[in-house]
A and B are shown apart, each in its own frame.
Chain A
């Protein structure tokens, strides 16, 4: 049984949807239940996710504005006779459920060293009052990852001990990885003038 299904049965109220796509197991959940779920992932010996591998965010503002002029590559070409498929792609479906189509999605990647499995957790966050629970109290590594998400996307983490910019400098205006931040925008250089 996939981990996402176990979690769906255990937390029916907070899980919005689950899917497996390209071998990645994903759970989409409400942001209210994030901390509860994360603690269960860490402390339950059945799941035992001891690593928080990655924490990032995706801005879905322009996701549906596809500029491609040609149709998308949906199916790969058939393999030649001397190659065997390494994995079976059947039954894969990737979708963003209607109730989870918010502007931001914070994505967590967990790994369990004892069980050798991975899980992706996605938390939809609205633009207004963008805030999710901080996981610093569970994984120390969340500290800098969350600071980076705040720096790049402007999402606040409730309970973070030291939420300040990490890659950009303090007087920097805006959050550069947001889709409405122009790629060629320049900001004045700071620092003492020599």
Chain B
């Protein structure tokens, strides 16, 4: 210390050096595991590098090991904040490879569930980044809203997070009875929470000062990096897969693609807030348009409980069964056989039969085993297909290559965060150390899909 003071006395200046600082991989403001190495000059970031791969689980390698349907639970764990979109994206890619059609009701159900998932993703993103800026109330409000939406997801899929709802050729179960009536009050609640959050944040001096003009990316740079989703739309490019190349039934709905001009953190926040409203609009329109169709009513007298049927079948007393309609205890509402043709493609080589048929008659049992036996199952012809869906963070693409066997030869997922994380160092350099947190929060990095 004395030496330093002496030197300053003598030369009139002190030697300065930049400081290398590790942020992460385990850091309270890093959601997920990622390491950002920053070079600091005082508090100004002069260099940055993002290091990823801490959550690499070998998703793509694991997909090659099992049959096509086995990859669906893995896709849940890609973007675990909006797993339904991942499920749908993978199944659509395999369906494209197979060249099969899904039923219209199935498309509508997929749209409804994807949009609900998108809202939960945006809620998490905004809530978490607001919390990191000190607005803890907003985080609790957003998590409350997300909880209501997750209750909807649970009612349909039976799970909250690892839902594995979509199937190649359809979905696992139809929407439960009275689901539409459940959605309306939930959306009312979510809207009131969003209104409150809007009041708390959008004109909040502290929040706006921290967000405005921070983490700016130009339109040209964003396109060059391959950034998509809300991050790109905040720079003024109106690219949305749902509008540019409509898939499922998105061309049936009237919704806006919110865009902003500045490309900074505040714009990304505003775009996400508006997108949630648009997603709710899509869901409401979907409910008014979703095709129903006659669901067969079971005759009371012919129903037999599942456990009774299984017990009888074990003892070989199946002779009388062929006259009877078997009614299984469905694990989920809407999994029963009479709903099956509405929500699943009419393709016995691809779609598992309803459980009543599997346990109740020999044709169903054969269909079932032809799909679950090793070497049988779904076998698309040799070929490849790329299917893009609009994930919550941007374009989520699945590229599937088949060599004609029952296992995918190659599954590639294009994670939407990946290009954004590529651009992150460029966003941080020149800013302040404290701005890393809001900028990184607005990326909404999900380590599960980034590292796969």
Contact = CB atoms under 8 A, between A and B. Distances in A.
B208 to A, nearest CB: 29
Given A22-B99, A183-B61, A70 B376 contact: yes
A76 B405 contact: no
> Interface residues of A toward B: which range?
35 or more
Interface in B118-132: none
Given A94-B384, A140-B225, A83 B404 contact: no
B49 to A, nearest CB: 9
A193 interface: no
Given A140-B423, A166-B52, A177-B61, A89 B346 contact: no
A44 to B, nearest CB: 16
A52 B52 contact: no
A150 B402 CA distance: 23
Interface string B368-384: 00100001101111111
Interface stretch (B297-305, B318-326, B411-419): B411-419
Contacts of B336: none
A89 to B, nearest CB: 5
Interface string B230-252: 00000001010000110000000
B375 A68 contact: yes
Contact of A72 (B237, B404, B414): B404
Interface string B76-103: 0000000000000000000011111101
B58 A140 contact: no
A43 to B, nearest CB: 13
Interface stretch (B109-117, B270-278, B393-401): B393-401
A99 B18 CA distance: 54
A116 B225 contact: no
A73 B244 contact: no
A144 interface: yes
A143 interface: yes
B397 A63 contact: no
Contacts of B216: none
A113 B223 contact: yes
B422 interface: yes
A68 B68 CA distance: 13
B379 A167 contact: no
Contacts of A169: 53
A9 interface: no
Contacts of A144: 418-419, 421-422
Contacts of A79: 101, 346
Contact of A70 (B56, B375, B412, B451): B375
Closest 7 interchain pairs by CB? A141-B226, A69-B375, A94-B383, A167-B53, A144-B422, A54-B414, A68-B405
16 contacts: A22-B385, A51-B228, A54-B414, A58-B401, A58-B409, A66-B405, A76-B98, A86-B101, A94-B382, A109-B397, A109-B399, A116-B245, A118-B245, A144-B422, A165-B53, A176-B61
Interface of B: 52-53, 56, 58, 60-62, 64-65, 96-101, 103-104, 221, 223-228, 237, 239, 244-245, 346-350, 370, 375-376, 378-386, 388, 395, 397, 399, 401, 403-406, 409-410, 412, 414, 418-419, 421-423, 451-452
